[in-house]
Amino acid sequence: MKNIISALFLCASALGFSQGNTHTQTGDKFEGLAMTPPMGWNSWNTFATNIDEKLVKETADIMVSSGLAAVGYNYIVLDDGWMTKERDANGDLVPDPVKFPNGMKAVVDYVHSKGLKFGLYNCAGTQTCAGYPGTRGYEYQDARFYAKLEIDFLKYDWCNTKGITAPEAYTTMSNALKTAGRPIVFSLCEWGDNQPWEWGKSVGNLWRISGDIYPCFDCEFKHPENWSSWGFMKIAEMRKDIRKYSGPDHWNDFDMMEVGNEMNDTEDKSHFAMWCMLSSPLFTGNDYRKMSKETLAILTNKELITINQDKLGIQGFKYAVEDGVEVWVKPLSGGNWAVTFLNRTDAAKKINFDWKKNTVKDADFGYEADFAKSTFKLKNLWTNKEAGNTKKNFTAELASHDCITLKLSLLNKE
């Protein structure tokens, strides 16, 4: 019976997309679930499939006790490896009874009891990337399963998808989640290969724009299986001209963060600043149980988080480069701006930025800052100290791979 049902689902999916360009198909997502970039923790970067109930509970406890939850991190998402290698006799997914001896609902309830939200992972293909049961042909059944568990977030990957198209597969799952009736944030993880920014707005709440991240500043890590992971600056500049597609409830997702993993504190700081400037979802990927005070301080920088969570929801962009120092800008609500100076080089650099000689124009969203005509107050968001205003040049020295992020608050306009 389950095979017949699965075949019917496959036929229904295929028939629903048999006419026209699939890129014109629209989903039926739950609206308004991610009006600012979602924030939380994902298990994959550190733990891969080595996850269990104890890890989830300890992570939830620390998320609350450390202050991470208080500044906005509220999703705990279990990535690949949470289920058994086979579905049950009814075709349902089965949480691994060794990893989760009390069942997944007990884990979800524990996370909810802490005032947090819970997410799971699956894949659009026949198997997940790690070889567990995928959702292809079981979309509506799996959506009902997630709704019954009362999860809040679904990360949906793109492995083992031969013969299907991304717009079709993700739209089918989006509609299945809506039909199941529980509001669940839908995270599209197809690595940007099928331009999800062009069709994903009605389908999901966020979409990955690249392959997997790697804990380095600007490297490419080549895997033996002939694919690559990328340093965070590689990802930051990987896609051109897609910022116009990102905004409240439909975010460009630059992948889970590597802050607290294998980079140094300076690089972690720049990584976090860039994800805030880019309005990327902020999902930590480190082991909270081994987290240093420096890592915690970076992740809980309220001023930077405010930049990420600004209600305009506009992704920043690179404005200029001078002697290896990049200037990234981001329009903010209230006529304000965020500006990050980032040293891409391996040597220390001096900054001497003459505001009055610069006019920043946002071609995608129409914002402009003419510093010859408007004066802004400066605040260094890493030191939490005032830093003068735009009437005078901004001067500083930046170590290799370091950054300074300023908030520019409008004082007057001619």
Q: Quote the mean pLDDT of the chain.
A: 94
For residue 100, what pLDDT is reported?
A: 98
Inside any domain, residue 32: no
Q: Which residue in the list 152, 157, 268, 362 is annotated as catalytic?
A: 157
For residue 294, what pLDDT is reported?
A: 98
Q: 321 and 221, same structural domain?
A: no
Structural contact between residues 140 and 179, judged by C-beta atoms closer than 8 angstroms: yes
At residue 414 the predicted structure's pLDDT band, cuts being 50, 70 and 90, is low
For residue 25, what pLDDT is reported?
A: 57
Inside any domain, residue 24: no
Q: Has 212 been annotated as catalytic? A: yes
pLDDT over 80 at 23, yes or no: no
Q: 349 and 395, same structural domain?
A: yes
For residue 361, what pLDDT is reported?
A: 97
Q: Which of 285, 309, 333 is the last residue of a domain?
A: 309
**364-373 tens-digit pLDDT:** 999 999 999 9
CATH number at residue 357: 2.60.40.1180
Q: Are strands 349-353 and 394-398 parallel, antiparallel or unpaired?
A: antiparallel
Q: Which of 276, 309, 342 is the last residue of a domain?
A: 309
Q: Which of 309, 343, 365 is the last residue of a domain?
A: 309
pLDDT over 90 at 204, yes or no: yes
For residue 412, what pLDDT is reported?
A: 80
Q: Which residue in the list 52, 142, 212, 287 is annotated as catalytic?
A: 212
Q: For 109-171, give the DSSP string.
A: HHHHHTT-EEEEEEESSSB-TTSSB--TT-HHHHHHHHHHHT--EEEEE-SS-TT--HHHHHH
Number of domains in the chain: 2
Quick one: CA torsion of 162, 168, 172, 174, rounded to 10 degrees? Answer: 110
Q: Has 157 been annotated as catalytic? A: yes
Q: 358 and 239, same structural domain?
A: no
At residue 240 the predicted structure's pLDDT band, cuts being 50, 70 and 90, is confident
Q: 336 and 203, same structural domain?
A: no
Note down the domain range covering 139: 39-309
pLDDT over 60 at 22, yes or no: no
Average pLDDT over residues 307-317: 98
Q: 147 and 269, same structural domain?
A: yes
Average pLDDT over residues 42-58: 98
In the chain, % of residues over pLDDT 70: 93
Average pLDDT over residues 164-172: 98
Q: Which two tokens stand for residue 214?
A: 């790697």
